[in-house]
Amino acid sequence: MIEGDSRVRSRRPWVFHVVIAVVMVTTGSLNTLAMKWADLTSAPGQKGVYEEHLCDNLFDKVPCPDDDRSANKSHNHKFDHPFVQSLCMFFGEMTCFLAYKVIVTWKRSQGKRPVKAKPFNPLIFLFPACCDMTGTSIMNVGLTMTYASSFQMLRGAVMIFTGLLSVAFLRDRLRGRQWFGMMFVVVGLLVIGVGDALYGGDNGLDKTSQLTGDLLIVMAQIIIAVQMTYEQKFIVKYDVPPLQAVGWEGIWGLTVLGLLQFAFYFIPASFSSIRPERLENVIDAAYQIGNSRNLVLATIGLVLSISFFNFTGVTVTKEMNATTRMVLDSVRTLFIWVVSLSIPWESFQPLQPVGYVLLVCGTFIYYNLVFGPLWKKIKGRGTNHEKEPLLFDKASGQHSGIGVN
């Protein structure tokens, strides 16, 4: 990629670009907000599961603090089902495959020749789907322990790990500005973590648990970075349309994680709030969703938001460029933070805006946005523009968002 503010001239009117950008930011924000809404919602679950469970005490057996043992709601509890939420997200990604087929059929009916990938085995999407499944599930567990805004901001760590892995395995060479941008992101992540440690612990969250959630989210970015690196090395060479790639990863993720739900039901997990302790209880989740209108809305919102977010994200990358998508992703982080403060799901932390600004500056420096072009303009140098690839920018290691929620 030639450095500079890369732009793609599109024949579509500017109104179309604005609408697509707004839909992408909105649905991307709703994705995180719907998950957090579900996490904070209490509803009656599977009967016979919670009534007889007691927490051990040094002197006596007392009811668990989170159990509501009223006569009519003895099985009422919060929706603590991160793996079920991951399952819903993969279902949303799978719908992108249907959208791809509809678009191909429509183009053929119009006498147009749809873009086709080189012959490939769908199994190539199994590994990135498993990475997406693992990383997303760990992030969803972390989301139950921390704020929605911290969750979204900490996901910026994926840029660091993607850059390092591209150097180690793809033999890419990062430029000085990219290392400088990564340093900004690291400092921003540390500021957010320190802010949660100093000012967190409200809205029913425990500081220790909150920091654990933050750490889980950052660790999950390593797995997501492995997914991106794999996609760059093995999937780009087949020239797979992004919407089709998202769909295949959704199909494999839904299949594998759906089968694992049976094993998760019998795996004990002491850190889980499900009683008795299980890694996941899909039966209890189904009861809770059926008994709560809010959970029904949150689940539908989760599926639809991830589907439209991936679709509009691919459209933004195609009609404009991948760097525009990165800018919009920063905007949705701000939107999630403002909504979380206004509801309120969290209290204002003075260090959080500092961390957010550092993350945005680091991202802009890494992808040569705003600061680089502005400096060149000040120096009187022109910039060249070229269209960026739909999946990756080889020079910067930039990823356009395949399978990234």
Q: How many CA atoms lie within 13 A of 42 on its CB side?
A: 9
Residue 317: closest CA among 14, 3, 20, 12:
20
pLDDT at 388 exceeding the cut of 50: no
Mean pLDDT of 271-282: 74
Cis peptide before 241 (omega within 30 of 0): no
- Structure-token pair, residue 172: 């890419």
For range 202-223, the mean pLDDT: 85
Can you tell me the mean pLDDT for 218-231?
Answer: 90
Q: What pLDDT does 259 receive? A: 94
Say if strands 55-56 and 392-393 run parallel, antiparallel, or are unpaired.
Answer: unpaired
Q: Is 194 exposed, middle or buried (0-12, 13-18, 19+ CB in 10 A)?
A: middle
pLDDT of residue 93: 92
The rounded distance, in Å, linking the Cα atoms of 323 and 368 is 9
- Alpha-helical segments (H) within 170-234: 176-199, 207-230
The average pLDDT across 238-246 equals: 84
What pLDDT sits at residue 319? Answer: 72
Which of residues 91 and 232 earns the better pLDDT score?
91
Residue owning tokens 């009117």 = 13
Q: Are 224 and 125 in contact (CB under 8 A)?
A: no
Please name the residues in contact with 122: beta carbons below 8 A apart, sequence gap of 6 or more.
Answer: 248, 252
111 has a pLDDT exceeding 60: yes
- Per the CB < 8 A criterion, the answer to whether 205 and 146 are in contact is yes
Residue 237: CA atoms inside 13 Å, Cβ hemisphere, count?
7
User: Which of 22-31, 104-113, 122-131, 184-193 has the least mean pLDDT?
Assistant: 104-113
| 297-309 tens-digit pLDDT | 999 999 999 999 8
For the segment 52-86, what is each residue's pLDDT rounded down to a tens digit? Answer: 443 433 333 444 444 444 433 446 888 989 999 99
Of 5 and 134, more confident: 134
pLDDT of 1 over the 50 cut: no
pLDDT at 52: 41
DSSP 68: B
pLDDT-derived band at 343 (thresholds 50, 70, 90) equals confident
Confidence of residue 370 (pLDDT cuts 50, 70, 90): low
How confident is the model at residue 131, as a pLDDT? 93
Judged against a pLDDT cut of 60, whether residue 330 lies above it is answered with: yes
Q: What is the pTM of this model?
A: 0.79
Asked whether residue 383 carries a pLDDT value surpassing 60, the answer given is no
**CB-based contact 351:47 (threshold 8 Å):** no
Distance (Å, rounded) from C-alpha 81 to C-alpha 39? 8
Which range is least confidently modeled, 80-84, 178-182, 324-328, 389-393?
Answer: 389-393
Per-residue pLDDT tens digits for 255-269? 999 999 999 988 887
Q: Mind listing the pLDDT tens digit for each residue in 77-94? A: 889 899 999 999 999 999
Could you give the angle at which helices 14-40 and 126-143 cross, rounded to 10 degrees?
60
**Of 192 and 9, which is predicted with more confidence?**
192
Res 118: pLDDT: 78
Where exactly are the structural domains of the chain? 14-29+81-280+304-399
Of residues 287 and 269, the one with the higher pLDDT is 287
pLDDT: which is higher, 61 or 27: 27
Most confident of 16-25, 58-67, 296-305, 316-325: 296-305
Task: Give me the mean pLDDT over the 327-338 stretch.
Answer: 86
pLDDT for the residue numbered 84: 94
> Euclidean distance between the first and final Cα of the chain, in Å?
25
What CA–CA distance (Å, rounded) separates 393 from 182?
17
9-13, 77-81, 105-109, 131-135: which range is least confident on average? 9-13
What mean pLDDT value characterizes the chain? Answer: 79
Verify cis geometry, omega within 30 degrees of 0, for the bond prior to 389.
no
Question: What is the chain's Cα-based Rg?
Answer: 22
Residues 6+ apart with CB under 8 A from 243: 96, 97, 99, 100, 103, 310, 311, 314
The model's confidence at residue 386, banded by pLDDT at 50, 70 and 90, is very low
Q: Tell me the C-alpha distance between 54 and 36, whole Å.
A: 27
Predicted confidence at residue 385, as pLDDT, reads 45
